[in-house]
Chains A and B, each alone.
Chain A
Amino acid sequence: MILVFLETEPDGLTETSREALTLARGLAGESGGAPVDAVLVGAPSCPADTAVEQAAAYGVRDLHHATGEAFDAYGGAVWATAVEAVCRDTGAGVVVAAGTPRGMEVLAHVAARGGVAMAANVVAAEGSGPLTVTRQVMNGAVLEDMVLDEDPAILTVAGHAVEARPAAEPGAGRLVPCRPEVPGADLVARVVSAEPPPPDLSGDLTSARVVVGGGRGVGSADGFADLLELTDLVGGALGVSRVVTGNGWRPHHEQVGQTGSRISPDLYLACGISGAIQHWAGCASARTIVAINTDPEAPMVTRAHYAVIGDLHEVVPAVIEEIRRRRDAP
């Protein structure tokens, strides 16, 4: 049996959780049709019924929902207790999560407790006992082939490494409530207070559908005015390169890259960004990349799907004007 740790958003399962379910289903097929179960911990941000329905569409048999006061606030160790309990009770041989900060943290706890290996940022997996996986290392510049021959095999899936596809035949989609026991030690590291995000356009970069990116080519803190206007027009989030945060033009929480956020939007509009390997590590999972750059040989341009060659300070205002013109057209 394969167990998938799920994360939710108000509309249901996150895209990356759907991708993890898709990879798990592929592995299940290689194991002769092993069932795929899922685990949800605490109060999901969407109705539980929605999560069950969507999980079933991705082939999930049982959705184990761990509830109880201990799981209300997020804590890596305590949430791992829930995943570990479901894993033990169901005899899962493989545990999968999306390669998000939360997915990584929870499964790392599960792996540490079990004394087994964990493969992070997997892009492909095949076989069963042992499992052979390929994962991204060195910011995605290098691939590592690993063998996971321990029980359970634990892995997280890199964003957009797999295309999320509903199952040809939906799973049973049974909701299985559970209340795992929680050792007191697991409750030590928990959130004691939370602040809302600052009122800016960085939004939730990791789940934004559109990200407008700015790099060295923006030139200054004031140079972001047009990019912010475009970000607002497309209802997106602003992301920046490390050069920008290093120069103090924008705050670090907007940084995309190996040491910033890893994004997987439908569209990444990269303006004045050369595409250094560290930045590429954070944006390579975008479905469509459009680069606006003066240098046609810049790595971001040659790796993009579409490009406009030119100064972003001339191109972006023209794009804004064109969008407004079409909106105002009768």
Chain B
Amino acid sequence: MTDVLVCIKRVADATGEVVLTEDAQAVDGRHAGFTVSAHEECAVELAVRAAHATTGTATVVTVGSDDAVDQLRAALSVGCTAATHVHADPTTYGPRDVAAELAEVVRAHTAAGRPHDLVLLGNDAADSGDFQVGIRLAHELGWPVVNGAVTVEVEDDDVVARVHASSGHETYRVPLPAVVTVLEGGVEPRYPSVPGRMRARKVEVEDRKPVTDFGGASRVRLRLPPPQPSEVQVLGDGPGAAPALVDLLEQLGVLR
């Protein structure tokens, strides 16, 4: 029976125009909407599968603003059965702070008789792209960590994680408890069903206040890169442009 904790983060949807908040400390998603990263959607799917396969549980957690409960409910609607919300202003914390708070959640649940065997996270958040919360959490807990897994399966007392590397696929086998960060691509996240949405509404979310002093992200400010004027050189229209394009390939020295 594997009890999995899966960590998600509410981020601004960046498929449209990116707008910064007035204090230049965050991306303003009020008009574009909010979501979680694709890596985290896969982490939730893997958490639910691991829990079901072992008749365990999948708990979802976030460190974020009050509105982040929307993302927790979305995870509950696809199979997580419990949720924990650490209420915090995301502009005030950095990856060290998030890792410390997540570690406190693991410790608190353990003390309450709900220990987690496995913690899953996205490999990196779609907004900050810090690439380090999972590793920092593992160090906080003194657990082993595998990064960039596309599949995760629990076998006996181990977690087997498959990682896509430049040299092919690498497999890690790590004893539980462990931390694994997940990359999109190994599983297809399921869509919430109507009963799933109904069930998610009724789940009581555990609310927590941060227990550590946030140190921040060493951020001075965010800024938008200067707009790049289009300098595209159009080689032509349709198949008639083929000679010009092949000339370019020859100039670049990329033809064998």
Contact = CB atoms under 8 A, between A and B. Distances in A.
A230 to B, nearest CB: 10
Given A145-B223, A192-B172, A314 B135 contact: no
Nearest to B243: A322
B153 interface: no
Nearest to B41: A259
Contacts of B173: 192
Interface stretch (A31-39, A48-56, A116-124): A116-124
A310 B172 CA distance: 46
A146 B219 contact: yes
Contacts of A315: 238-239, 241-242, 245
Contacts, number: 245
B86 interface: no
A194 B170 contact: yes
A90 interface: no
A113 B232 contact: no
B148 to A, nearest CB: 6
B184 interface: yes
A234 B256 contact: yes
Interface stretch (B47-55, B73-81, B121-129): B121-129
Nearest to A210: B254
Contacts of B165: 101, 194
A255 B39 CA distance: 13
Interface string B158-175: 000000111111111111
Count chain B CB atoms within 10 A of each CB in A193, A204, A242 and give the residue with the most: A193
Interface in B167-219: 167-175, 178, 183-186, 217-219
Interface in A80-127: 101, 104-105, 108-109, 111-113, 115, 117-121
A120 B241 contact: no
A210 B256 CA distance: 11
A174 interface: no
B112 interface: no
Contacts of A139: 14, 126, 129
B85 interface: no
B232 A304 contact: yes
Interface in A248-302: 252-253, 255, 258-260, 266-267, 276-278, 288, 290-291, 296, 301-302
B204 to A, nearest CB: 32
Contacts of B222: 137, 142-145
Nearest to B171: A193
A109 B233 contact: no
A303 B234 contact: no
B185 A255 contact: yes
B255 to A, nearest CB: 6
Given A189-B174, A305-B232, A194 B169 contact: yes
Given A234-B255, A277-B14, A322-B242, A111 B132 contact: yes
Given A188-B144, A195-B168, A315-B238, A303 B249 contact: no
B232 A307 contact: yes
Contacts of A255: 184-185
A225 interface: no
Contacts of A118: 95, 130, 132
B248 interface: yes
B224 interface: yes
* Across the A-B interface, the 8 shortest Cβ-Cβ residue pairs: A252-B185, A318-B239, A318-B242, A310-B238, A108-B132, A259-B184, A112-B139, A189-B144
Interface of A: 74, 76-77, 101, 104-105, 108-109, 111-113, 115, 117-121, 132, 136-149, 156, 185, 188-197, 204, 206-207, 209-210, 233-236, 242, 245, 252-253, 255, 258-260, 266-267, 276-278, 288, 290-291, 296, 301-311, 314-315, 317-319, 321-323, 326
17 contacts: A76-B145, A105-B131, A112-B135, A120-B130, A136-B129, A139-B129, A144-B220, A146-B220, A189-B144, A191-B170, A252-B185, A260-B184, A291-B232, A302-B230, A305-B233, A308-B244, A321-B242
Given A301-B232, A303-B228, 18 more contacts: A76-B135, A108-B135, A118-B130, A138-B14, A138-B27, A138-B126, A141-B14, A142-B27, A145-B220, A146-B220, A188-B144, A189-B144, A233-B255, A255-B185, A278-B15, A290-B248, A308-B237, A318-B241
Interface of B: 12, 14-15, 18, 20, 27, 37-39, 94-96, 99, 124, 126-132, 135-136, 138-139, 142, 144-148, 150, 164-175, 178, 183-186, 217-225, 228, 230-246, 248-249, 252, 254-256
